[in-house]
Amino acid sequence: MPPMNGTFDYIAGDTIVALATAPVAAGVAIIRISGPEAWSVGESICSALKGASVRRAVWGKFKFGSEELDEGLAMGFRAPASFTGEDVVELHGHGGKAVVQAVLEAVLAHVVRMALPGEFSRRAVLNGKMDLTAAEGLADLIAAQTDVQRRQALRQLDGALGERFEGWRTAVMHLLAQVEAAIDFPDEELEVLSAPALTKGMHQLMGTLQDALGEQAGARVRDGIAMAIVGKPNAGKSTLLNLLTGRDVAIVSDIAGTTRDVVTSMLDIGGFPVTLADTAGMRATKDVIEAEGVRRARLQAQRADVLVLVVDSTLGEELGPDFAELLLPGRTLIIMSKADRVDMDFPPQITVDGVEYPVVAVNLTEAEAFGRILPVLSRMVAAVGGEASESALLTRQRHKQAVEEALKALGQALKGMARAGTDDGSVAELVAQDLRDAAAAIGSVTGRTGSEDVLDVVFSTFCIGK
Ligand SMILES: Nc1nc2c(ncn2[C@@H]2O[C@H](COP(=O)(O)OP(=O)(O)OP(=O)(O)O)[C@@H](O)[C@H]2O)c(=O)[nH]1
Ligand SMILES: [Mg+2]
């Protein structure tokens, strides 16, 4: 088989093949062929495909020459009505390693090569079947582990995020059209560039883009909401991790300083993906390994979207400044552990620096603690990721970078506009160029503008077969 890892260049006219289903033993495996030779190759392997209607499955033997390899369904599509926009043939055979290998080799005996990572989607983008954000949405949909992730990815696949970026690009183009009028009529440059409608339009668009940059929920839902459990040694942090995950993930003992590494576990809380991190108990220590654990614990607390502070209620201590400074307003739950060992009433919340934090007092070693803690955490998680369940949010760093670039170019344009009439030469041309830069930055997100490099970066993270 030819190498699978980008050793050859991307050539759009090639016919490509890959296993579209997972490479594990399964009832069915789908091998997908795309490109000008798809039908001829498909027909040579499965003769039942000859003369078959498009998008109609036919049953037949899969053969290489006279040798029978497998039997199953074959289905063909004609350009442009296919996923890639090219001729496509799918062979639905049995999902065994040797079967798949044999059929792939039979396909590769023709003028066909293995697809590069993401090449099917890349062709779909190049053939105008979907934009880049939709392709990213498709990758996210395949990777989605929770329901909110699935919904967000599906919305992006349906083009909602692409439409949002297209809307912004169109807004820039409208501004550009106004500025270009000043290039054609230099005498009116000052008038055009200082027109209130133009300035207002610029400010409005920049405000919208600034707001979009501030969105966190999209990326948090895609990458997982970070929840950290912190507290003093022996407080019951690892007991809480095990309770929430329902598994014996971390070692629990009555020796203070048991946990030293960060122990993480994925959780689905109300459809939101949560990365839960148990950490080393925070205390001053001479032990270098424990000290490193404490440093990492602090880092987790600082990066957390939701913080759980576990406090041993038997110690009857005040919350020290070390912990007070870690608290995130609205996103911190304080758990008073070992409530079974003390005889007192706990307030439902405590106030630190004028901010109220909910308190749950429990016995972490009893299962019923779960039902008291989860609702509070669910509420906080939903508050952090909530927006993502209904709007098309920026989900990747790439989206934010493009918006930042556009904002920079628009800021530049505004500065230029302010100079109109004060300079000797014309500034309209420069302002127009800034606006074109802004439009290009925004357009690179959908793939409408930009180079092959952008495509390389996006699709290199895809798997083969997508
Ligand atoms: N009675 C009672 N015991 C608890 C409770 N929570 C934890 N424990 C016990 O307290 C001890 C310490 O629990 P851990 O979960 O290991 O504490 P930790 O905070 O992870 O400790 P370090 O890893 O050392 O920082 C264990 O013996 C637990 O069984 C509780 O609510 N009630
Ligand atoms: Mg522990």
CB neighbourhood size of 174 (10 A): 13
pLDDT at 145: 95
Domain co-membership, 294 together with 413: no
pLDDT at 5 over 60: no
Distance CA 158, CA 180 (A): 34
CA 362 to ligand 1 centroid distance, Å: 12
Q: Could you tell me the pLDDT band of residue 6, with boundaries at 50, 70 and 90?
A: very low
Domain co-membership, 279 together with 163: no
pLDDT at 8 over 70: no
The string of pLDDT tens digits covering residues 406-449 is 999 999 999 999 888 776 667 889 999 999 999 999 999 998 87
Domain co-membership, 197 together with 249: no
Peptide bond into 347 cis (omega under 30): no
**C-alpha of 192 from chain center:** 42
CA 309 to ligand 1 centroid distance, Å: 13
pLDDT at 195: 87
Per-residue CA distances from 169 to 39, 184, 209, 450 (Å): 39, 23, 11, 13
pLDDT at 465: 81
The average confidence (pLDDT) of the chain is 93
pLDDT at 114 over 90: yes
Distance CA 412, CA 400 (A): 18
Q: CATH number, domain at 75?
A: 3.30.1360.120
Q: Which ligand is nearest to the CA of 250?
A: 2
Per the confidence metrics, is the pTM higher than 0.75? yes
Instruction: Find out whether 91 and 103 touch, Cβ atoms under 8 Å.
Output: yes
Task: Convert 67-106 to b/e letters by CB count within 10 Å (16 or more is b).
Answer: eebbebbbbbbeeeebbbbbbbbbbbbbbeeebbebbbeb
The string of pLDDT tens digits covering residues 12-45 is 789 999 999 999 999 999 999 999 999 999 999 9
pLDDT at 9 over 70: no
Residue 10 in domain = no
CA 255 to ligand 2 centroid distance, Å: 9
Domain co-membership, 331 together with 375: yes
Q: CATH number, domain at 305?
A: 3.40.50.300
pLDDT at 2: 41
> Hey, which of 289, 362, 365, 373 would you mutate to test ligand 1's pocket, going by the most ligand atoms within 8 Å of its Cβ?
365
Pull the structure tokens for residue 430.
């420069």
Q: Total structural domains in the chain?
A: 3
pLDDT at 31: 98
pLDDT at 3: 40
Residue 461 in domain = no
The backbone torsions φ and ψ at residue 452, rounded to the nearest 5 degrees and listed phi first, read: -55, -30
Pull the structure tokens for residue 206.
């920049």
Percentage above 90 pLDDT, the chain: 82
Domain co-membership, 63 together with 192: no
Domain co-membership, 118 together with 153: no
Q: Could you tell me the pLDDT band of residue 7, with boundaries at 50, 70 and 90?
A: very low
Burial of residue 228 (number of CB atoms within 10 Å: 0-12, 13-18, 19+):
buried
The string of pLDDT tens digits covering residues 168-215 is 999 999 999 999 888 888 788 888 888 889 999 999 999 999 999 998
Burial of residue 168 (number of CB atoms within 10 Å: 0-12, 13-18, 19+):
buried
Distance CA 466, CA 446 (A): 18
Q: What is the mean pLDDT of residues 5-16?
A: 67
Residue 111: strand, helix, or coil:
coil
pLDDT at 194: 85
Q: CATH number, domain at 157?
A: 1.20.120.430
Query: Residue 78 is part of which domain span?
Result: 16-125
Domain co-membership, 335 together with 355: yes
**C-alpha of 365 from chain center:** 36
**Which atom of ligand 1 is found nearest the CA of 369?**
31
171-180, 186-195, 260-269, 299-308: lowest mean pLDDT where?
Answer: 186-195
Per-residue CA distances from 120 to 16, 77, 84, 156, 463 (Å): 8, 14, 6, 18, 10
Ligand 1 pocket, residues with Cβ under 6 angstroms: 231, 233-239, 252-254, 256-259, 280-281, 337-338, 340-341, 363-365
Contacts (Cβ under 8 Å, ≥6 apart) of 11: none
Domain boundary among 125, 158, 186: 125
Q: Which ligand is nearest to the CA of 314?
A: 1
The string of pLDDT tens digits covering residues 49-79 is 999 999 999 999 999 999 999 999 999 999 9
Contacts (Cβ under 8 Å, ≥6 apart) of 237: 229, 230, 231, 259, 278, 279, 281, 310
The backbone torsions φ and ψ at residue 233, rounded to the nearest 5 degrees and listed phi first, read: -55, 145
| CA quadruple 126, 128, 133, 139: dihedral sign | negative
